[in-house]
Amino acid sequence: MRTSTLGVGILGAGPVTQAIHLPTLARLRDVFHVAKIMDVDPAIAESVAGRVGTAWTTSMDDLLADKAVQVIVICSPHQFHAEQVIAACRAGKQAVLCEKPFAMSQAEAEEIAAVSRETRVPIIVGAMHTFDPGWLAAKEHWGDLVRTAHTIRYSIVLPPNPRFEDFATEVITRPERARQDRHDPEVAAGMVRAGIMGLAIHDLPLVRAFCPDFTDLEVLSCHVPDPFGYLVNLRIGDRSVQVSGISTESWQPEWTFEALSDVASLRIDFTPSYVQAGSATAAITRGGEATVYGPYPHNGYEGEWRYLADLASGKAAPLDVTELIHDLTFALDVADKASAAVRASAASEAAASQATAPQKEAIA
């Protein structure tokens, strides 16, 4: 029975494997089965594999050598993605899904593209909104809005990930994250970079659909809200782009993407990460009349896995890896410029407060 479905090998069995990919794969049993799970922590590998009754290992080479594994999903921390994508391609697997970001530098991205072209192993990146049927419907129906939109903004307001992970499953061991002092310029710059490369990166490919040429990208301002997030104002050509992400327990979760022109607008409401309750809805308004697309039965997580199956079986054409490189270059450009802006403003705030400190003491 199992041999008729594609064997999935999982590298990294942390919260995203447990709370996103295993529940998605459980709904796609007619297409996939989990063939092997690898994690550097043997307790996690064994325990997660036990939940789905499959084999486990702590060795990537062992998993990649396993003939029962045909497709790979990479869910390890960011810094391992590039080397693992390359190893999966070199092992001759049928297709690779790498969680975002698929690389942390332009050089890594280009190496991945070269290996993917050489080995002909198709790669997709887990930017799930690009596979969401709500987004795909918007693309099909937005007409000239993609050229005429002058303002693009997307806003992510989410409680910290563990809230959703715990709704989805009982997560096995979770690393403690220390609270950071965002008044330190280096810490603030690092937080913005982590926010852009970890969270904003989900929808930067959507922004790039409207701004394919981002050579003159300029960060006008960047602010770090408490307790974690980023508020970035950008200009790309004559377009204004606002990108914000806030992690807070106290607000209603919201994930929206908007594109506005003088005569039309698009608004997409995505479900929060981890939530598997159908697709986003997209509303396109022209002349005061809105047409709403969705929600459709499945979301972007299932969309990416369905596409991976079609790639592995040769039914779908592979994505152009050059586009994946451009998406990464765009994200790195936003992250570099936003973190430089926040570093500069935090340093000037620190200098200003030092300059006023002696005066305050003198008055006291």
Ligand X SMILES: NC(=O)c1ccc[n+]([C@@H]2O[C@H](COP(=O)([O-])OP(=O)(O)OC[C@H]3O[C@@H](n4cnc5c(N)ncnc54)[C@H](O)[C@@H]3O)[C@@H](O)[C@H]2O)c1
- Tokens for 2? 């199992």
- The CA distances from residue 234 to 218, 242, 338, in Å, are 6, 6, 9
DSSP code for 6: E
Q: Which residue is nearest to ligand X (CB)?
A: 14
Q: Which of 78, 239, 306, 326 binds ligand X (CB under 6 A)?
A: 78
Q: Which of 6, 8, 9, 13 binds ligand X (CB under 6 A)?
A: 13
Pick the piece of the chain touching ligand X (CB under 6 A) from 37-45, 109-117, 184-192, 329-337. Answer: 37-45
Asked if 96 is part of the footprint of ligand X (rule: CB under 6 A), the reply reads: no
Q: For the CB of residue 200, give the shortest distance to ligand X in the complex, in Å.
A: 12
How far apart CA 272 and CA 283 sit, in angstroms, is 18
Q: For the CB of residue 235, give the shortest distance to ligand X in the complex, in Å.
A: 28
Report the residue number, 57 or 233, with the smaller CB distance to ligand X: 57
Residues 101, 200 contacting (CB under 8 angstroms): no
Q: Which residues pair with 153 in a beta bridge?
A: 242, 258
Pick the piece of the chain touching ligand X (CB under 6 A) from 8-16, 22-30, 143-151, 152-160. Answer: 8-16
Asked if 39 is part of the footprint of ligand X (rule: CB under 6 A), the reply reads: yes
Asked if 327 is part of the footprint of ligand X (rule: CB under 6 A), the reply reads: no
Pick the piece of the chain touching ligand X (CB under 6 A) from 63-71, 77-85, 143-151, 218-226. Answer: 77-85
Asked if 50 is part of the footprint of ligand X (rule: CB under 6 A), the reply reads: no
Report the residue number, 76 or 265, with the smaller CB distance to ligand X: 76
- The CA distances from residue 354 to 94, 184, 343, 344, 360, in Å, are 59, 13, 16, 15, 10
Report the residue number, 73 or 234, with the smaller CB distance to ligand X: 73
Asked if 339 is part of the footprint of ligand X (rule: CB under 6 A), the reply reads: no
Please name the helix (run of DSSP H) or strand (run of DSSP E) that holds residue 153, with its range, or none.
strand 151-158
Strand order in the sheet with 55-57: 55-57, 32-38, 6-11, 71-74, 95-98, 123-125
- In this structure, is the dihedral angle defined by the CA atoms of residues 63, 65, 70 and 72, taken in order, positive or negative? positive
Asked if 76 is part of the footprint of ligand X (rule: CB under 6 A), the reply reads: yes
The three-state secondary structure class of 35 is strand
Asked if 44 is part of the footprint of ligand X (rule: CB under 6 A), the reply reads: yes
For 350, residues 6+ apart whose C-beta sits below 8 A from its C-beta are 183, 185
Choose among 24, 270, 255, 30: nearest CA to 133: 270
Asked if 95 is part of the footprint of ligand X (rule: CB under 6 A), the reply reads: no
Report the residue number, 274 or 293, with the smaller CB distance to ligand X: 274
Asked if 146 is part of the footprint of ligand X (rule: CB under 6 A), the reply reads: no
Q: For the CB of residue 115, give the shortest distance to ligand X in the complex, in Å.
A: 18
Instruction: Give me the residues that bind ligand X (CB under 6 A), please.
Output: 11-16, 20, 38-41, 44, 75-78, 80, 99-100, 126, 128, 161, 175, 198, 273
